[in-house]
Copies of this chain bind each other. A is one copy, B any other.
Amino acid sequence: MAGRKIRNMEEFAEVSGISRPTVSKYFHDPSSVRKSTRARIEEALERYDYRPNIFAMNQNRRLTKNIGIVVPYLADPFFAEIARNLERRCIDAGFFPLLFSSHGEQTQENAILDSLRLLKPAGVLLAALGRTSDHDHIKRFCADVPTVLFDSYLDNTGAAFVGSDHAQVLRMIVDYLCRSGEPPVFFEMKNPANPNANRRRAGYIAAMEALGQTPEIVRVDGTGWSFEQIGFNGASALLETGAFATDTVLCSNDRLAIGLISAAYAKGVRVGRGPDCALRVAGMDDHPFAQFTCPPMTTIAQDYAAIADNSVETLFKVVETGALTGERPEMLFEGRLVMRDSA
User: Which residues on A are within 8 Å of B, measured CB to CB?
Assistant: 51, 53-56, 58-59, 74-77, 80-81, 83-84, 87-88, 96, 98-101, 103, 114-115, 118-120, 228, 232, 258-259, 261-262, 265-266, 288-289, 291-296
Q: Please, how many angstroms separate the alpha-carbon atoms of A306 and B77 in the complex?
A: 23
The reply to whether B54 and A293 contact each other, CB–CB distance below 8 Å, is no
A to B CB contacts below 8 Å, 23 in the list: A51-B118, A53-B59, A54-B119, A55-B59, A55-B120, A74-B83, A75-B81, A75-B288, A76-B80, A77-B77, A77-B80, A84-B103, A87-B103, A88-B103, A98-B98, A99-B101, A232-B292, A258-B289, A258-B292, A262-B293, A266-B295, A289-B289, A294-B294
Q: Please, how many angstroms separate the alpha-carbon atoms of A59 and B60 in the complex?
A: 12
Given the contacts A58-B55, A81-B75, A292-B262, A115 and B100 also touching, CB distance less than 8 Å: no
Given the contacts A59-B56, A77-B75, A118-B51, A294 and B83 also touching, CB distance less than 8 Å: no
The reply to whether A96 and B115 contact each other, CB–CB distance below 8 Å, is yes
Q: Please, how many angstroms separate the alpha-carbon atoms of A80 and B77 in the complex?
A: 9
The reply to whether A294 and B261 contact each other, CB–CB distance below 8 Å, is yes
Q: Please, how many angstroms separate the alpha-carbon atoms of A101 and B262 in the complex?
A: 30
Within the complex, the shortest CB–CB distance from A103 to chain B, in Å, comes to 6
Give chain B residues whose Cβ lies under 8 Å from the Cβ of A288: 75
Q: Please, how many angstroms separate the alpha-carbon atoms of A278 and B189 in the complex?
A: 36
Give chain B residues whose Cβ lies under 8 Å from the Cβ of A81: 75
The reply to whether B118 and A101 contact each other, CB–CB distance below 8 Å, is no
Give chain B residues whose Cβ lies under 8 Å from the Cβ of A87: 101, 103
Give chain B residues whose Cβ lies under 8 Å from the Cβ of A101: 84, 87, 99
By secondary structure, the A interface counts as: helix
Q: Please, how many angstroms separate the alpha-carbon atoms of A100 and B293 in the complex?
A: 29
The reply to whether B53 and A118 contact each other, CB–CB distance below 8 Å, is yes
Q: Lowest 4 CB-CB distances: which A-B pairs, in order? A: A265-B294, A294-B294, A75-B80, A262-B292
Query: Of all chain B residues, which has the CB nearest A57?
Result: B55
Within the complex, the shortest CB–CB distance from A91 to chain B, in Å, comes to 8
Query: Of all chain B residues, which has the CB nearest A97?
Result: B100
Give chain B residues whose Cβ lies under 8 Å from the Cβ of A119: 54
Given the contacts A53-B59, A53-B118, A118-B54, A296 and B75 also touching, CB distance less than 8 Å: no
Give chain B residues whose Cβ lies under 8 Å from the Cβ of A75: 77, 80-81, 84, 288
Within the complex, the shortest CB–CB distance from A338 to chain B, in Å, comes to 15
Give chain B residues whose Cβ lies under 8 Å from the Cβ of A296: 262, 266
Give chain B residues whose Cβ lies under 8 Å from the Cβ of A58: 55
Query: Of all chain B residues, which has the CB nearest A287?
Result: B289
Give chain B residues whose Cβ lies under 8 Å from the Cβ of A84: 74-75, 101, 103
Since A51-B114, A232-B292, A265-B295 are in contact, a sample of 8 more A-B pairs with Cβ atoms closer than 8 Å, ordered by chain A residue number, is A53-B59, A53-B118, A55-B58, A59-B59, A75-B81, A261-B292, A262-B291, A262-B293
Query: Of all chain B residues, which has the CB nearest A265?
Result: B294
The reply to whether A228 and B53 contact each other, CB–CB distance below 8 Å, is no
Q: Please, how many angstroms separate the alpha-carbon atoms of A119 and B55 in the complex?
A: 8
Within the complex, the shortest CB–CB distance from A142 to chain B, in Å, comes to 18
